[in-house]
Chains A and B, each alone.
Chain A
Amino acid sequence: MTTVLVADDSETILLLLRTRLELAGYEVQTAADGQEVTERVVPGSSDGPDLLLLDAMMPRKSGIEALRELRAAGLETPALIVSAHQDPRDADAPTDLEISGYVTKPIDFDQLLDAVAELTAKAA
């Protein structure tokens, strides 16, 4: 089964993302911040998530910081960054992290689910 790791510091948004992804047939793991993401994901292991869906701004460790650490440790899993910014180019977008795309709030779930399907199809 395709697994998506979702990280957001808002429980409501986490519940929303989890419900929509589970309804679409994905297995969903959740994390409350970037710290939990880096603890949970082991680069190079075969049973890790197939896609990361990380909020750009979280306490303790942001999604960007977590992804930076994981990429430095050799993680190749595709990642989407969720940002409250209207324009993803505003989110002082890092260019070196192999980010597959930016999801802006409010989330258009049709487009998000299309992107998730496309990215996890490649992984599978």
Chain B
Amino acid sequence: MPSTDAESSSRPVASSPITAQAYSRRGRRLGPSLANRLRIGFAIAFAVLTAAAVIGVGHFIAQRQDYENSIERSYQAEMAARVEFAEGNRAGAARRTIAREEANRAELRNSISEDTRNTAILVGGGLLAGLIGALLLFAGLIASMRRPLEALVDAAGRLAAGDRSTRVEVGGPSETATLGKAFNEMATELELEASERDQLDRMKDEFVLTASHELRSPLTSVQGFAELLMLDRDSLTQRQVETVEIILDNCRHLVRLLNDLLDLARSDAGRLTIRPRPTRLTPLLEDVVRTMRAQTDKSEQTLTENIEPDLPLVEVEPDRIRQILLNLLTNAHEYSPERASIQLTARVADTGVEIDVIDNGPGIPPAQMEHIFERFVRGDAGMTQRVGGTGLGLAISKSLVELHGGTIAVDSEVGRGSTFRVTLPVAPPGAVEAPQAGPRAIAEGPR
């Protein structure tokens, strides 16, 4: 972990309990919360509806009062006229007054029923408007929640899918705004952690690459001067020759280990790349067998090849296929006893070209078969004492075969031997064998 200084400067927000409080404090300044909006909405709707009802009913009562007063005045005027008429005073004028008051009341009756209708319409309209307003208000509130929530759901999906630069726009009611801010802080933390992890990974890869690079020069000297001694082997005693041979053996082992570590580091960093091109397998396989023969002859093992004629071109990087096959054959050679037989076969199958490395050695126990392609997995302890492998060869071979789009599998029976099968993709029809581009590599060093 980096120092606390670096941490505090690179992480403005620490994951402490204070942060949670900070969210809610900041949340309050973000605008009214949903709860407050609802309260305000209810209050406005209640006020509008109550006002409409009170005004309407008040109006109605006032009209009714007016009407009753007017009717009463009209009756009083008519009664006075009728008294005058009965007494015989100004009978003509009194009759006219009676008729006028009757007409007046009929008009008042008409007018009050019309007023009542109008008031009812007014109150009804007010209530309806209030209801519609309330509905719109709630729809708006729901929408104001929905958009930020949908954005959050989207962003969470993207974050889960690995897009750590995802952020949401902070908005909406304070609840969603706080949620949005919290989400953004979380995404930032994740991004920082991921970049720290990436950086550590890069440092590790860089370290392996540099170490393997720096170790090569002294190794060149050790191996080179030991070889120089061997050029004069006639003047060395048998004991000295054996000593130098041990030095050289161990140099080769170190080189193999370095190359394997380098390949693994490259593989981890995604920098293990291949440049496949249409390739003829037969000469490559024959060359691999030739290379191996020096070692198998020493152990009096029989190494045979059985390559089907007219194999189609395969889409591979020849050096890598050589590396894989040398690795499988070296395993077969090292794990099998003297005078064992090892066979390399190649044939066309539905899935591509199948290359088998078959030995009649001790075989692999089922418990070990599951892990055979994992790193640093080797045969049992008694075996590995004798065998000089790195435990990385099969892991690298698997990575390489899979980079080619091929497969590698193992079949084995204890006491009968093992078969490793590599299947390689056939080059597209019409492809022609392509030579290697660029300057050649001289002295690749033993693998």
Q: Which residues of B contact A20 (CB under 8 A)?
A: 224, 228
Name A85's closest neighbour in chain B (CB-CB).
B213
Q: A10-B217, A86-B212, A86-B259 are in contact. Are A106 and B224 (CB under 8 A)?
A: yes
On chain A, the residues within 8 Å of B228 by CB distance are 16, 19-20
Q: Which residues from chain A contact B445 at a C-beta distance below 8 Å? A: 86, 104-108
Do residues A106 and B438 form an inter-chain contact, with CB atoms below 8 A? Answer: no
Does B440 belong to the interface (CB within 8 Å)? yes
A108→B220 contact, CB < 8 A: no
**Interface presence of A124 (CB below 8 A):** no
Q: Shortest CB–CB separation between residue B223 and chain A, in angstroms?
A: 5
Quick check: is B441 within 8 A (CB to CB) of the other chain? yes
A109 in contact with B262 given A10-B217, A84-B213 (CB within 8 Å): no
Expressed in whole angstroms, the Cα–Cα distance for A75 and B221 within the complex equals: 31
- The CA-CA distance from A89 to B439 in the complex, in Å, is 9
Q: How far is the CA of A19 from the CA of B231 in the complex (A)?
A: 11
Bound complex: CA A104 to CA B220 (Å): 10
Chain B, interface SS category: helix
Contacting chain B: which of A25-33, A38-46, A62-70, A94-102? A94-102
> With the chains together, A20 CA to B443 CA distance in Å?
15
- Residue among A95, A102, A107 making CB contact with B220, cutoff 8 Å: A107
**A104 proximity list for chain B (CB < 8 A):** 441-445
A102 to B119, CA, bound (A): 103
What residues on A are CB-neighbors of B251 within 8 Å?
106
Partner of B441, one of A19, A23, A95, A101: A101
Please measure, in the bound complex, the distance between the C-alpha atom of A25 and the C-alpha atom of B248, giving whole angstroms: 25
B439 is contacted by which of A13, A101, A105, A106 (Cβ under 8 Å)?
Answer: A101
Q: Is the CB of B442 within 8 A of A115?
A: yes
Of all chain A residues, the one with the shortest Cβ separation from B439 is: A99
Contact B442 A80 (CB under 8 A): yes
CA distance A102 to B436 in the complex (A): 14
- In the complex, what distance in Å separates the CA atom of A120 from the CA atom of B247? 32
Give A8's nearest chain B residue, CB to CB.
Answer: B217
Do residues A13 and B259 form an inter-chain contact, with CB atoms below 8 A?
no
Task: Out of B214, B223, B440, B442, name the residue touching A106 (CB < 8 Å).
Answer: B223
B227 within 8 A of A: yes
Which of B's residues lie within 8 Å of A, judged by CB? Answer: 212-214, 216-217, 219-221, 223-225, 227-228, 231, 251, 255, 258-259, 262, 438-446
Residues on A lying within 8 angstroms of B by beta carbon are 10, 12-13, 16, 19-20, 23, 80, 84-89, 93, 95, 99-109, 111-112, 115
Q: Please name the 10 residue pairs, one residue from A and one from B, whose CB atoms are nearest each other, closest first.
A: A108-B443, A105-B216, A84-B216, A16-B224, A106-B220, A111-B443, A105-B220, A101-B442, A12-B221, A88-B441
